[in-house]
Amino acid sequence: MSASNVTSIALAVVENNPIRQLRAKPSSKTAAIKAKCAECMGCTLDHMERGFRASISDCSSYSCPLHSFRPFQAKTTSR
């Protein structure tokens, strides 16, 4: 893998890290919820767990106050 490919991958990780996104927009409620859910699934400022979005979507922690607001949920259609 070339150095430019490694740099591109590293930049993509930084841009997709919800914890880093919260640092960029600290007043965003949506970013705060995404960051907390990602942290709960094992992500940190410098590390993203593989498959964390699916883990958040499948979260079974129903007692969590953020459970109904968690990101990456399947969209439901109303009748």
pTM of the model: 0.75
Model confidence over 21-58: pLDDT tens digits? 999 999 999 999 999 999 999 999 999 999 999 999 99
Q: Is the per-residue pLDDT at 11 higher than 60?
A: no
Q: Which two tokens stand for residue 78?
A: 């109303």
Integer Cα distance of 33 and 66 in angstroms:
7
Q: How many CB atoms lie within 10 A of CB 74?
A: 5
Q: Rounded distance, CA 71 to CA 56, Å? A: 7
